[in-house]
Amino acid sequence: MAFSALSQTPFSHGCSPRHPPRWRLAAFAVASLLCLAGPAAWAAEPRLPRAMAQALARAQVPASAVTLLVVDASGQRPPRLSHRAGEAMNPASVIKLVTTYAALDVLGPDFLWKTNITMDGSIQNGLLDGNMVVRGGGDPKLVVERLQALLSQVQASGVRAIRGDIVLDRSAFSEPSVNAAEFDGEPLRPYNTQPDALLINFKTLVMTFTPDLSQGRALVRTEPPMAGLLVDGSVPLLPAANCGDWRSDLRASVDSPSHVQFLGSYASACGERVWPSAYADPSSFAARAIEGSWKVLGGLLTGQVREATAPELVMLRSRGTLSGNTSPLRLESPSLPLLDIVRDVNKFSNNVMAQHLFLSLGLHGKLGQTQAGTFDAGRAATQAWWLKTLPAAAPPVLDNGSGLSRSGRISARSLAAMLQHAAKSPLADALADSLPLVGVDGSMRERAKGATGRAQIKTGSLRDVSAVAGYAQGTSGSHYIVIGIVNHPNASAARPALNTLIEWAVQDRK
């Protein structure tokens, strides 16, 4: 359900004369000029809707910590609500709207990332005498199923044993490694996963717990298979009447790269549960996952899985191995189309996938000064795109493209200008349909129930930040852009106020 086909339904915004007395004619003339000049001249700051003002008061958030804008999606009429709309605020994950729209516009909805496997050696009777090189191209969603499908293709093509090493080339992205605990001290939270040109399964270990009443234990299975990692295969089962805080009850020890232990118990009432956890040693995740998957599929390996050295990369490229010129076997695995990736980024606010889009804008975009897989190049490319596409709107301050940042900034007015541009573009449905549908899915599934099915909204949340932005369809048939950003220590308590904003925007007949 997209709101890109804009309605022309008339909507009064107070710009029609109502037979004013003579002493008001001069004031009315000024107001008429403002209306004729269009939305850019609209300077009124209407009072906040009562329900929203009350919700902010309950959250103890002052109006000075909030920016709000509800405006016609076509850009043809003045705002219904405008409060501090020109103030640059930290939007948290709402900045993903900029990243995803820029990626759709610059790279195109059908853009694909490529993961390549090439053989550096001779092949005879199923044996590769040499190294197998795996080159990551920045695929944001190389999950375990797709990795194993690629490795199965290698084996089906005639390589079942490797007398040598599996060599990993991750040089497409050259951003230096960052401590995953740097942002908020939570290194094992999947949202803190760092980008990687060879990102496998989001560097996340997925553990599934299944009660087995006959054995009195919950069985544990994990994905992907990880070489050198021992995971306890079961945990004592308790016949609890309710599930409770099952993750805490497990007393899991997940901070060792070689052993995941469960020192507690699991309640039978929980049924089957899934726990994704970032791996303790993310730098070795790809190597462990590739080796584990290769062997689970029946492949043999005499050497090790390791990173390509700089001299090896130079040598391989000079010999044409990575371009397929001299290799006896070269396989390629394309990613899902960018359109599908954008949907995952916005529906579920996936940070590392958003950062891959941002890095790819720097690497593949045509508007940046340099083409490289770095955040600097991503910022340059996105800034160049913004200045070309929206020259009249103040550009945002971009960090890593995901919103997982304390320095990102954008004003509601600039964001609305971008959303209005998107609504009129051929990419209108691609962007709008990627947003959570209020009351139905994604991060808006349980929010703003009074607007269920009538708004497509991206959310953002950090410590001291709560934000919403997107499209809404009023009961009158009019289409709006709705933006609300709170920057305050009590921002999380202001979410009901932002829900009220969305519901107010939809209920435009009242």
What DSSP character marks residue 397? B
**Both tokens assigned to 428:** 């209108």
Residue 378 has pLDDT above 90, yes or no: yes
Strand pairing category for 479-487 and 127-135: unpaired
Give the residue among 158, 178, 154, 176 at the shortest CA–CA distance from 166.
Answer: 154
Share of the chain above pLDDT 90, in %: 78
Cα-based angle 144, 148, 150 (whole degrees, multiple of 5): 120
Residues 374-402: what's their mean pLDDT?
Answer: 95
Tens of pLDDT, residues 272-293: 999 999 899 999 999 999 999 9
Domain 114-178+287-334: give its CATH architecture: 3-Layer(bba) Sandwich (3.50)
Q: How confident is the model at residue 42 (pLDDT cuts 50, 70, 90)?
A: very low
Q: In this predicted structure, which of 14-23, 148-157, 228-237, 363-372 has the lowest mean pLDDT?
A: 14-23
Share of the chain above pLDDT 70, in %: 85
Q: Which residues of 302-313 are buried (b: 16+ CB within 10 A; e: fewer)?
A: eeebebbeeebb
**Both tokens assigned to 4:** 């890109």
Q: How confident is the model at residue 44 (pLDDT cuts 50, 70, 90)?
A: very low
Residue 429 has pLDDT above 70, yes or no: yes
| Highest CATH level, class, for 43-110+339-506 | alpha beta
Residues 60-73: what's their mean pLDDT?
Answer: 97
**In contact, 140 and 335? CB cutoff 8 Å:** yes
Residues 63-71: what's their mean pLDDT?
Answer: 97
**Both tokens assigned to 460:** 């953002």
pLDDT of amino acid 404:
92
Q: How confident is the model at residue 29 (pLDDT cuts 50, 70, 90)?
A: very low
**In contact, 90 and 20? CB cutoff 8 Å:** no
Residues 296-301: what's their mean pLDDT?
Answer: 98
Cα-based angle 372, 374, 375 (whole degrees, multiple of 5): 135
pLDDT of amino acid 310:
86
**Both tokens assigned to 415:** 């964001």
pLDDT of amino acid 229:
97
Q: How confident is the model at residue 329 (pLDDT cuts 50, 70, 90)?
A: confident
Reduce the DSSP state of residue 185 to 3 states and report it. coil
Residue 43 has pLDDT above 60, yes or no: no
Domain limits, the chain: 43-110+339-506, 114-178+287-334, 200-282
Residue 18 has pLDDT above 50, yes or no: no
Tens of pLDDT, residues 95-110: 999 999 999 999 999 9
Cα-based angle 136, 142, 147 (whole degrees, multiple of 5): 85
Helix ranges, 297-374 (H)? 310-318, 338-348, 351-364
Query: HSE (CB half, 13 Å, CA atoms) of 401?
Result: 32
pLDDT of amino acid 113:
97
Task: Pick 323 or 266 by higher pLDDT.
Answer: 266
Tens of pLDDT, residues 443-462: 999 999 999 999 999 999 99
Q: In this predicted structure, which of 66-70, 139-143, 317-321, 475-479 has the lowest mean pLDDT?
A: 317-321
Strand pairing category for 127-135 and 161-163: parallel
Strand pairing category for 465-473 and 455-462: antiparallel
CA distance 5 to 313: 50
Reduce the DSSP state of residue 132 to 3 states and report it. strand
Give the residue among 59, 58, 78, 61 at the shortest CA–CA distance from 70.
Answer: 78
CA distance 394 to 416: 11
Q: In this predicted structure, which of 269-283, 356-370, 376-390, 421-435 has the lowest mean pLDDT?
A: 356-370
Give the residue among 498, 491, 446 at the shortest CA–CA distance from 472.
Answer: 498
CA distance 456 to 502: 10
Reduce the DSSP state of residue 310 to 3 states and report it. helix
Give me the chain's average pLDDT, please: 88
**Contacts with 52 (C-beta within 8 Å, 6 or more apart), sequence order:** 68, 497, 500, 501, 504
Residue 127 has pLDDT above 50, yes or no: yes
Residue 188 has pLDDT above 90, yes or no: no
**Both tokens assigned to 464:** 């001291």
**Both tokens assigned to 269:** 């009432």
Residues 258-272: what's their mean pLDDT?
Answer: 96
Residue 38 has pLDDT above 90, yes or no: no
Give the residue among 419, 409, 492, 447 at the shortest CA–CA distance from 91.
Answer: 409
What DSSP character marks residue 142? B
Residues 121-139: what's their mean pLDDT?
Answer: 95
Residues 338-343: what's their mean pLDDT?
Answer: 98
Burial label for 481, CB within 10 Å (0-12, 13-18, 19+), is buried
Q: How confident is the model at residue 182 (pLDDT cuts 50, 70, 90)?
A: low
Residue 4 has pLDDT above 90, yes or no: no
Round to the nearest angstrom and report the end-to-end CA distance of the chain.
24
**Contacts with 5 (C-beta within 8 Å, 6 or more apart), sequence order:** none
The secondary structure of 45-61 as a DSSP string is -PPPPHHHHHHHHHHT-
**Both tokens assigned to 375:** 């955040």
Domains 43-110+339-506 and 114-178+287-334 share a fold: no
